[in-house]
A and B are shown apart, each in its own frame.
Chain A
Amino acid sequence: MHCLWCEAEIIEEVDWINFFYPDKVKNICESCKAQLDVLDGQLCKYCGRRSEKDVCSDCERWESDPHWKGVLTFNTSVFTYNPIMKEIITKWKYRGDYALVEMLREAFCEKFNQVFKEIKKDAVIVPIPLSEERLYERAFNQAEALARLLEMPYTQMLTRMEGEKQSKKTRKDRLGTSNPFQLEKQINQPVILIDDIYTTGTTVRHAAKLLKENGCLGVYVFTLAR
């Protein structure tokens, strides 16, 4: 087996785990793994970044805006968006090296099952969509690739319009909400949104807002990096 990131050969002693479960074979080497920074310690209760305060200043601002207040229940990210994560995501998402997601599978699923153990029982998993043009360009949706890792059913209930099409909307539309998402049906369950990066939180809030306006009980966000 070779490390998916640095190509170094991973020599593994055969023990009972990888003998009986060959799926557990490692695909990331120890030295690459050591460079990944798993988000732990004291975190902001809304966006999941490292924070001294209970609520970070960004989230304070979101929560003090009546338009956005309470739209998101919380976000959990697995890793910090540090230099190596940035490189990995760039190569995966923009160069299109789909297989790289496999080396993050273990950490991603572990965190999900830990944080959403109860919530997932009656929530719907929804990957953040790409616009048609983007999807064609990349040939895969990174959020969907992450959702697949969970090996649970997920629903593509959102669609996204972007670029030219969106800019054809009226000026009022754009100034008002500029929400790039459309929802195909009403929903009465909680939703766990899946995406690759939580940066400013604007994208997921737009999706969450739309879901809530259409009956959704609560919106959680689970992302790879923050």
Chain B
Amino acid sequence: MSAPVLDVRGVVKTFGDTVVLRGVDLSVGEHQVVALIGGSGSGKSTLLRCASLLETVDDGQVLLDGEDVTDPRVDADAVRRRLGVVFQAYNLFPHMTVLDNVTLAPTVVHGRPKAEVQEEARAMLARMGLADKAGEYPDRLSGGQQQRVAIARALGVRPRVLLLDEITSALDPELVGEVLAVVREVAAQGMTILMATHEMGFARQVADTVAFLDGGVVLESGPPEQVLGDPVEERTRRFLARVIDAGRL
């Protein structure tokens, strides 16, 4: 058994007096897809931000390929270069075309030849149904299209692990299917993925492991059928009941 690609150990994160994470343990193995579920405000985004070094943790460790990236001595930029992140609110650069958004990091950060990167980016955009949008500016795209560009942008750097923060929450139901297919394809190609999601159906289909975040800890984790179908913890049960009521399972 190889070491996990991403290993979160006892991570604590507070904002002032609010304790958001109080000792989260979570590991994502090579080629694994882990879905992070939990109520709104349970800290899913915070955990992903800690893992991508956008926040400093207040205790605990995050290991990327066995390296402690929460050590203040590590070069955070170099670590982020090995990660792909898609945010809840796309965060595309509004002053650049779709193609420039996707090719920015591979060319500027990784120094790869522009022509090669552009060709790759166009192919990726085409796979995501955005072939004709390459020259468009993000403001002129629908929310769903913008989110797909954001995924393409994150994949452009060939990350070690892809962190997805509720990438489907802004998409129309029909587009969810498309993006799901893209994520599944990416996973099948061996990408390691940690994703926060409210879509239990999505988690069930794509994830190998589902982790339920509650009260600042991973309360329960395991295969989707088990955690989503027959949870051990009472709180997980209640959360899922609420989600089913909302019609999202």
A, B bound: no
Residues of A in contact with B (beta carbons under 8 Å apart): none
